Structure 1
Amino acid sequence: MSPDIVNDQIKLIADSVLTNIIADIRKVHWFSIIADEATDVSNKEQLTVCIRWVDDDFCIYEDPIELIQLPKTDAETITRELKSCLGKHVLPIAQCRGQAYDGASNMSGHLNGVAARIEKDVPAALYLHCFAHCTNLCLQTVGRKCVVVRDALDLVMEISQLIRFSPKRSTLFSDVQKELGACSVSLKPLCPTRWTVRTAAVSAVLSNYSNLLAALEQINAETHDDYGRKAGGYLAQMDKFSTFFGLKLAHLIFSGTEQLSLTLQGKDTTIQEAVNATELAVKYLTRLRSDSTFVDFYSKTVEEAKELTSDPVLPRYRRPPHRIDDGEAPVLFSDPKSYFKQQYFEILDLLVNELKRRFQQKRGLPVMSVLEKTLLDSANGKFCALELPEEFDIYNSDLDLSRLKIQLTMLPDLITTHNTNSKVPIKKVTNVRTICDIINEPGKVMFSEVIKLLKIFYTLPVTTSTAERSFSALRRLKTFLRSTMSQSRLNHTFITFIHKERTDSVDEKDIAKTFISANDKRRKYFGNV
């Protein structure tokens, strides 16, 4: 078949899949926009658009619907393209109830960003900065400010590139592993953008520390070029205790925050679960910030480093230049332990403060928190029926607020009725999902406004992880050997690749009929199907 015929068939399948998705979204009335940008292999800026929606059973869906090639990445262009995309798929922007982007100024600017421009047209389209992206930015800031962690991470990246990018050096490292028999874990690449997945790379270097020392020494002795000199420099750096301490400290920090990131990347994650996970991570880091915890950590690190590095020493004191010297007495440390204690406490303080600062969003988060609190208080019998919080005013067109107040006051009775018929009674409602499960039970049809409120609550996105995952699909589809494919073909293959289950359920006979009926030549050749 010719490329044109293949493209026609892919287009028909993609259109069928996309038509079914859009039809399901229209049934539920409300949706949210999730968007993110990336550069493809042909150096073109691609904007992926995902729609988040909730069905009648409170199941959450996040469906990528289009890749848009952007001529410019300014807020005006992106806003225009997003509105055009929604209009093309007959999704009224007036029904948008949430937005999730990264924290770039063109997306999140409070005056002329994409979120602000859409909020001017639709005040109920609340914007939330992706929580997973916030976590990544926190670690990025901390990793650059703490000296020992910054130097250790740079070393991990350099060593990984030195070993992994050369078949000869990779083989040499594997031979050293087999000879010493200390560890068989391979080195992992250090992701330059996703700081929350660096634990594996740091852990691999720590596990292979003795192997790396032997391999670098051999490379330095046998290789007489730039790589040999680099190996010698890395070897000298790994011989320092500060490097080993920085690796252990980075592993301690990243392993804890990686669990937070994994929680925030789920599409079913609600604002309540995201906030709780963040608070739990802050408590964990705060608990680490104690003298006893540091003493244990430092003692174990010194013990492990005895046969791997030199003894701990204080860094050489350098006088600041006169132009920046303010005349204050310099901070001098009495021993190496006090210096490393300062580094340990500094990174924990920086990270805790960054998490608190970045997760205190002043736009969509307060409204989402009020919705959640109102639902939970109502279910536990703490709701005052006199008036709803003022944050509900933006939903005047979506909810009958007078009926909603009555139904919220009746929620405790619904919980009581459930307890009488259940073997495991509910003492206190602490999760909005519990209300959804009870309302979903047969016969609970008198809480229409509460159901609408729950759908709006779950429609609000917390993360842009689905949009970011779609870039993995883009990387598989548009490769170096297929870098010149048209935007139309890219979109059609993208839709069929992402939505595999819907693609498998497409009626092949309907596709064949549509394909044949496209022109007279096909009808004469194939006949009636």
Structure 2
Amino acid sequence: MSLEFFGKRGIGEQLDAGYRIGIRRHNEEVAKNRHILSRIIDSVKCCGAFELASRGHDESERSDNPEIFHGLVDFVASLDEVLKEHLEKATVFEGTSKAVQNELLDCMSSVVKEHIIQEARSSDFISIQADETTDIATQCQLVLVLRYIDAKSNVQERFFEFIPLHSTTADSIAAALQERLAVILPGDQKHKLISQAYDGASVMRGATAGVQKKIQDVYPNAHYIHCYAHRLSRIMQQATSLMPKVSLFFANLGGFASFFARSPERTDVLDQVVARRLPTSSRVRWNFHSRAVSTVFEHREDLLCCFETM
């Protein structure tokens, strides 16, 4: 028995009681740090679950409307003595900075994306939907959505990520998609991609040099399908355009924004009287029409006053 246990434990741990105490204290400190970090992670997850902005415009201690994340952490600290003590005494790592929040969000994103990849690989078939969008900093991005049937035979539609684009050419978009698809579907699973859906732009649907053709060259089963959201939008547009009153209404609605945008003097009067810019309309996106209707309806009295002033 002595021979069996010989060398299994460090000699320092056997001879030095202080060494054993140090190990115990270290383990207690690790457990405490994990407990504190779990509370901070829960606060970040709460903001994401309820679609709340974690950071605010004014994050100073004197702010009357601080960021939601700090408010959640303070609330949890009022119920958790360990976290409260940490926030009061921490000098090196408090865990509530912007950098920590961003790093936690990146870690959560990695975990979610890995789960989506595992689900997609276990599925028999998968389809993708992609479209370009512009963020608040006017940077062009590609939205990638995956659609597949999971192990429980439920249809899943998952947003995968925003892909930054250097340019909006067919080669650039196709290269970005192929790079992500290579991660999602390894070489022996290329046959699983059976469809690709984009809008009706020529750069996406081009039969000879479009994105769909470049993707199909690599993934032979990836048939091109026009985006359902855009198809429904076009159907509604074509149907309503046959109604003269509806057509005239939206023509006049789009005319408001054009009327003010073409003259700096008119825009100045609009800013002084209404204090609100009118959103421009778009033929392929409903939200622009709805925003224009809402803005004109809410500020109709101010708009009348604005026209009288002019």
Q: TM-score range by the shorter chain?
A: 0.5 to 0.7
2:282 pairs with one of 192, 200, 203: 192
CA drift of 1:99 comes to 0.6
1:106/1:216 CA distance change after superposition, 3 Å = closer
Write the deviation string for residues 401-427 of structure 1: whole angstroms up to 9, x where unpaired. xxxxxxxxxxxxxxxxxxxxxxxxxxx
Distance between the aligned counterparts of 2:216 and 2:151, measured in 1?
26
Residue in structure 1 matched with residue 215 of structure 2 by the alignment: 118
Corresponding position: 1:87 with 2:182: yes
1:154/1:13 CA distance change after superposition, 3 Å = same
Distance between the aligned counterparts of 1:46 and 1:216, measured in 2?
35
CA drift of 1:88 comes to 2.8
1:219/1:7 CA distance change after superposition, 3 Å = closer
Give the 3-state SS of the residue equivalent to 1:73 in structure 2: coil
Contact residue 135 and residue 196 of structure 1 kept, 8 A: no
CA drift of 1:97 comes to 1.0
Give the 3-state SS of the residue equivalent to 1:51 in structure 2: strand
Give the 3-state SS of the residue equivalent to 1:66 in structure 2: strand
Residue in structure 1 matched with residue 159 of structure 2 by the alignment: 64
Matches within 5 A, 1:273-422: none
1:5/1:196 CA distance change after superposition, 3 Å = closer
Which letter does structure 1 place at the counterpart of 2:219?
V
Residue in structure 2 matched with residue 25 of structure 1 by the alignment: 120
- Where does structure 1 lack aligned partners over 5 or more consecutive residues? 172-187, 229-529
Give the 3-state SS of the residue equivalent to 2:148 in structure 1: strand
RMSD, aligned CA: 4.1
Write the deviation string for residues 221-271 of structure 1: whole angstroms up to 9, x where unpaired. 4x2xxxx2xxxxxxxxxxxxxxxxxxxxxxxxxxxxxxxxxxxxxxxxxxx
Give the 3-state SS of the residue equivalent to 1:50 in structure 2: strand
Distance between the aligned counterparts of 2:305 and 2:103, measured in 1?
58
Write the deviation string for residues 360-418 of structure 1: whole angstroms up to 9, x where unpaired. xxxxxxxxxxxxxxxxxxxxxxxxxxxxxxxxxxxxxxxxxxxxxxxxxxxxxxxxxxx
1:18/1:147 CA distance change after superposition, 3 Å = same
| TM-score using structure 2 length | 0.52
Corresponding position: 1:132 with 2:222: no
Give the 3-state SS of the residue equivalent to 2:282 in structure 1: coil
Contact residue 131 and residue 198 of structure 2 kept, 8 A: yes
Give the 3-state SS of the residue equivalent to 1:86 in structure 2: helix
Write the deviation string for residues 284-334 of structure 1: whole angstroms up to 9, x where unpaired. xxxxxxxxxxxxxxxxxxxxxxxxxxxxxxxxxxxxxxxxxxxxxxxxxxx
1:151/1:85 CA distance change after superposition, 3 Å = same
Contact residue 273 and residue 306 of structure 2 kept, 8 A: no
| TM-score using structure 1 length | 0.32
Which letter does structure 2 place at the counterpart of 1:25?
A
Contact residue 98 and residue 126 of structure 1 kept, 8 A: yes
Matches within 5 A, 1:212-251: 219-221=306-308, 223=309, 228=310
1:16/1:217 CA distance change after superposition, 3 Å = closer
Contact residue 121 and residue 184 of structure 2 kept, 8 A: no
1:17/1:59 CA distance change after superposition, 3 Å = same
2:137 pairs with one of 42, 45, 52: 42
CA drift of 1:28 comes to 1.3
Contact residue 122 and residue 151 of structure 2 kept, 8 A: no
Contact residue 139 and residue 196 of structure 1 kept, 8 A: no
Distance between the aligned counterparts of 1:33 and 1:122, measured in 2?
12
2:200 pairs with one of 95, 103, 110: 103
Contact residue 34 and residue 51 of structure 1 kept, 8 A: yes
Write the deviation string for residues 110-136 of structure 1: whole angstroms up to 9, x where unpaired. 112111122223332111011331343
Which letter does structure 2 place at the counterpart of 1:52?
R
Which letter does structure 2 place at the counterpart of 1:40?
D
CA drift of 1:20 comes to 1.5
Distance between the aligned counterparts of 1:195 and 1:21, measured in 2?
28
Residue in structure 1 matched with residue 72 of structure 2 by the alignment: none
- Where does structure 2 lack aligned partners over 5 or more consecutive residues? 1-94, 261-265
1:203/1:31 CA distance change after superposition, 3 Å = same
Contact residue 51 and residue 64 of structure 1 kept, 8 A: yes
CA drift of 1:146 comes to 9.1
Contact residue 241 and residue 247 of structure 2 kept, 8 A: yes
Residue in structure 1 matched with residue 64 of structure 2 by the alignment: none
Which letter does structure 2 place at the counterpart of 1:192?
S
Between 48-57 and 149-158, report the one with greater CA deviation. 149-158
1:149/1:5 CA distance change after superposition, 3 Å = closer
Give aligned-pair identity as a percent. 27
CA drift of 1:84 comes to 0.7
CA drift of 1:36 comes to 0.7
Which letter does structure 2 place at the counterpart of 1:9?
L
1:159/1:43 CA distance change after superposition, 3 Å = closer
CA drift of 1:68 comes to 1.0
Distance between the aligned counterparts of 1:215 and 1:67, measured in 2?
39
Work out the number of aligned pairs and report it.
203
Write the deviation string for residues 422-453 of structure 1: whole angstroms up to 9, x where unpaired. xxxxxxxxxxxxxxxxxxxxxxxxxxxxxxxx
Give the 3-state SS of the residue equivalent to 2:161 in structure 1: strand
